[in-house]
Chains A and B, each alone.
Chain A
Amino acid sequence: MKKVIEGSQGVAEAVRLARVNVISAYPITPQTHIVETLSGFCSDGTLDARFLKVESEHSALAALIGAASSGVRTFTATSSQGLALMHELLHWASGARLPIVMAEVNRALGPGWNIWTDQTDSLAQRDTGWIQLYCEDGQETLDTTLQAFALAEQVNLPVMVVLDAFFLSHTYEPVDIPEQEAVDRFLPPFAPRFQLDTANPCAFGSMVTPDTYMEMRRSIAAGMEAALELLPEVEERFAGIFGRRWAAIEPVRCDDAEIILVTSGTVTGTCRELIGDLREKGEKVGLLKVKLFRPFPVEAIRRVLAPARKIAVIDRNFSFGASGIFAQEIRAALCNTPGHPPVFGFVAGIGGRDVTKDVLEGIYRQTVESDRPEREDLWIGLKEVPDALEHP
């Protein structure tokens, strides 16, 4: 049934339809609408789940680690500071191979309290073993959340569904909310491969020596590799039932593109429009939307980007001392391809600053006009500010 809902509500609807058993979350702007909607569902019986109103995000994920280890379907949501606080346990969840699903609303990190969108928070957790899926709009968000449970439970790895603060979380769009019966066909009840069980007692997470630890880590890596293979199958099954298809990457008019812009999140929507405009003017430009960030779809990206003449990556994030993170990953994906195109790494929209069509067009032009990038990070639209601490 189509309804006009916020991105946050889309997440909540997906969680309801997935028949999650245990939710544990701590509120943080701009995730609050997700947890409030879910609280409502639990309270009025729409969703038969236990919702633990824990006292911090660290405890939220800790509770889910306990619940998932007991063999039930689990969900949480957070953002920015909250995600950072969870960091220790993000490693723990993947190390324990628990299929926890989290909605992560991309928000800037303080200090300077900033509640607006920025990808640094989720990307800073790229090493923690969580599958990361970046969403462009409300429908994709709802659909991806449903797919997240299916994928997580197949590979026994936790999944982060990432959506931009406000531009997605608080934006109303018409979204098709599937029927429960269809979702039940797509997503069977969780069948845990292991759980705490008094009838079959064992210890989980004991001390592991150098003798064995490396193999356990390799197993996580193998899980990630399996995720790369299995995501298309999940998407295929989803398309078969719901008629909608998303993908790890989506190339838009890249086949003969000389310059390909690479985006993720809501910027993609703006960029699609730009590509349309530029193509009309005869520019040979294309767009690569990256949805799956972890595991990074190296092969697929290489195939799309290698033939182009230049690549312009738009990062709404930054890794201090290095460069924009998507740019880094793409450079790494291309470096072993002989004759690969130069990668221009643009940094824009940090801390919620608007990325308009004009900004994107400026990026395109700059790329056209330069043979090679003069530096690894090309910050867009910076203002003059005093360097000194004292205000003049």
Chain B
Amino acid sequence: MAKKPDPVPVSLFIPRSYLTTEGNKTGSWRFLRPRYEEKTAPCSAACPAAEDIGKIEMLAAQGLFKDAWEAILRENPFPGICGRVCFHPCEDVCNRGSFDEAVAIHVLERFLANRARRGVFTPDLKRLAPKRQTVAVVGAGPAGLSAAYFLTLLGYRADVFEAADEAGGVLRWGIPLYRLPLAILQEEIRRIEETGVRIQTGNPISQRDINTFIEGHDALFIACGHGRSAQMGVPGEGLPGVQDGLTFLREIREGTISSLGGQAAVIGGGNAAVDVARSIIRLGGSALIVYRRRRRDMPAFGEEIAMALDEGVELRELLAPVAIRDSDGGLVVEVQPMQIAGTDTDGRAHIEPKGKKTEEIRVDRLFTAVGERPGEAWYEPPTEGNGVLRLSHCVLQQRASGPVVYGGDLTNATKSVAHAVASGKEAAMALDTFLAEGIEAVQPRLAACRVGEGPALSMEIYMHGPRSERSFHVVTSDEINTAYFQFDPRVRQPRLLREERVRSFGEVNLRISANLAIREAERCFNCGLCNQCDNCYLFCPDLAVKKDSGPLGRHIDYDYCKGCGVCAVECPRNAMILEEEAYEEGD
């Protein structure tokens, strides 16, 4: 082989690169700047308890069941209960509903509560430092228990006073076992007690006790509920065979009624009426609901009505009772046919008698469930006046001895557990703000904790948790980039067969497996929340989205971001925002 000649250094200056392009800070091109901004999911805004549903499903989809359950508990102490009895307004506004079917949020909530039971999860909840003030809560129903729970998390000592022998209120006496098993209720109450709430049952409170703030508590929350049934106001209402529906439900729970034959009529259209009717079926009787408006006007939850009818309950619409008479060991109910004529000022259908001819219905007994009222006059919240603040779910009154808040069914038109929780939470926030900063601070402070446009309020926001970073903007379905989702049917919650249902008070809805739960949770769009899907990172033409170990797992490198906005559009769930770049003078 030839010896290589000594190399002569011949000039060789060619265009060969020796640097990367990282020296070009292309961020200077920007006139729009993208930013991660988590927003509000419509479900969480529709939930009276403001549960962070998008986040809950995100955690559940990752199999982080305990974390998801704790996310519920931050806003609602009753996942097991609500996961069974809530009317889930969240699902009605679920953006997924415009795509294929709404996420089964209700079913997932129950799953998570079950999971917590099975795994004997102990929740890790944020609690503020103990405060010296104490609060007395009158009534251990869902509103009172919620208020006590939240006040305890805020650092107060909460004492709950319950007239009955057991806590729970309408949860124990008003909701039948086939909807809410006793064990679930007991466990959820026990968990509240474990936070430090003291419940004194068999301890009725009088007007005088209220005046002394029950021996020197610093604040009061009155949530005694609507325990007394309203009267129909028709002749014959006092006859034997005519019974108050709520009392009936109570007797079933106490065990004093175990069977009931014959045909019963149930007057009313709310959940109580439907519960009464379905209970009658299970006790062996027949039930006929008589309602003066139409099925679609009934305040009862649609699912409950459908199941009732499926179980054999009859429904006759547009009939108003005018009189009740004895007849051959039974009753005859005279009813006036009604017709729809426009709308009332409260939005409900306006009815008027149709013709003069009445009908007669023969039954063995009759139950009334036409509305509930407060048991005592002093339960009633004051109307507007000096030192009275009407909040969305409560009324706050500033008295000489301290603040008094009325809540629960006493102050909410919609009587639901979720509203009760909302009420208890609002009361806790209002009292805490009042005691720390005075009455003027209450409304602004609460307004800052709203979810979306409100009226739902978030305790996590109140406690300055991560949720307080979110924008109030509620994500609409057209703001979701559905290109990243596939059609996938909603999970079907198994249910007892009709034949099985009517035989007992066993729970009707059955549980789903973890596999199904995860798959259903994956259907959630997580509207407005970043679930680290990485679309922004993958599509950025400038590789300006950098992964990190922060809460979102990423940040935008503004040295290079040109503000093209592709990230914001390809974010499937509107967790980003594009805003004008702010330039200073001389830039």
Contact = CB atoms under 8 A, between A and B. Distances in A.
Direct contact of A and B (CB under 8 A): yes
Interface of A: 95-97, 154-156, 184-188, 191, 193-194, 202-206, 208, 212, 215-216, 218-219, 222-223, 226, 230, 233, 237
A184 B2 CA distance: 6
A188 B14 contact: no
Contacts of A218: 11, 13
A230 B17 contact: no
Contacts of A193: 12
B10 A155 contact: yes
A216 B4 CA distance: 27
Contacts of B13: 215-216, 218-219
Contact of A194 (B1, B3, B7, B16): B16
Interface in B1-55: 1-5, 7-8, 10-18
B8 A206 contact: no
A38 to B, nearest CB: 23
Contacts of B12: 97, 156, 193-194, 219, 223
A187 B5 CA distance: 10
B17 A206 contact: yes
A188 B15 CA distance: 27
Contacts, number: 61
Contacts of B10: 154-156, 222-223, 226
Nearest to A157: B10
A204 B16 contact: yes
B2 A194 contact: no
A154 B5 CA distance: 9
A191 B4 contact: yes
A227 to B, nearest CB: 9
Nearest to B3: A188
B2 A96 contact: no
Q: Which 8 A-B pairs have the closest CB atoms?
A: A219-B13, A222-B11, A203-B17, A185-B2, A219-B11, A226-B10, A202-B17, A188-B2
26 contacts: A95-B14, A96-B14, A97-B12, A154-B8, A156-B10, A156-B12, A184-B1, A185-B1, A185-B2, A187-B2, A188-B1, A188-B4, A193-B12, A202-B18, A203-B16, A204-B14, A204-B15, A205-B15, A206-B17, A216-B14, A216-B15, A219-B11, A219-B13, A222-B10, A223-B11, A226-B10
B548 to A, nearest CB: 27
B14 to A, nearest CB: 5
Contacts of B8: 154, 226, 230
A6 to B, nearest CB: 29
Main SS class of interface, B: loop
Interface of B: 1-5, 7-8, 10-18
Contacts of A212: 15
A89 to B, nearest CB: 16
Contacts of A222: 10-11
Contacts of B7: 154
Contacts of B4: 188, 191
B15 A208 contact: yes
Contacts of B17: 202-204, 206
Given A156-B12, A185-B2, A226-B8, 18 more contacts: A154-B5, A154-B7, A154-B8, A155-B10, A184-B2, A187-B2, A188-B4, A191-B4, A193-B12, A194-B14, A202-B16, A206-B17, A215-B13, A216-B14, A219-B13, A219-B14, A223-B10, A226-B11
Nearest to A234: B5
Contacts of A219: 11-14
A206 B11 contact: no
Contacts of A187: 2
A218 B12 CA distance: 10
Contacts of A237: 5
A99 to B, nearest CB: 11
Contacts of A206: 15, 17
A206 B417 CA distance: 70
Nearest to A217: B13
A365 B10 CA distance: 46
A170 to B, nearest CB: 33
Contacts of A185: 1-2
Contacts of B3: 188
A204 B14 CA distance: 8
A95 B15 CA distance: 9
A215 B13 CA distance: 7
A172 to B, nearest CB: 31
Contacts of A226: 8, 10-11
A97 B14 CA distance: 7
A348 to B, nearest CB: 38
Nearest to A191: B4
B554 to A, nearest CB: 27
A298 to B, nearest CB: 20
B13 to A, nearest CB: 4
Most chain A beta-carbon neighbours within 10 Å: one of B4, B7, B12: B12
B226 to A, nearest CB: 77
A140 to B, nearest CB: 22
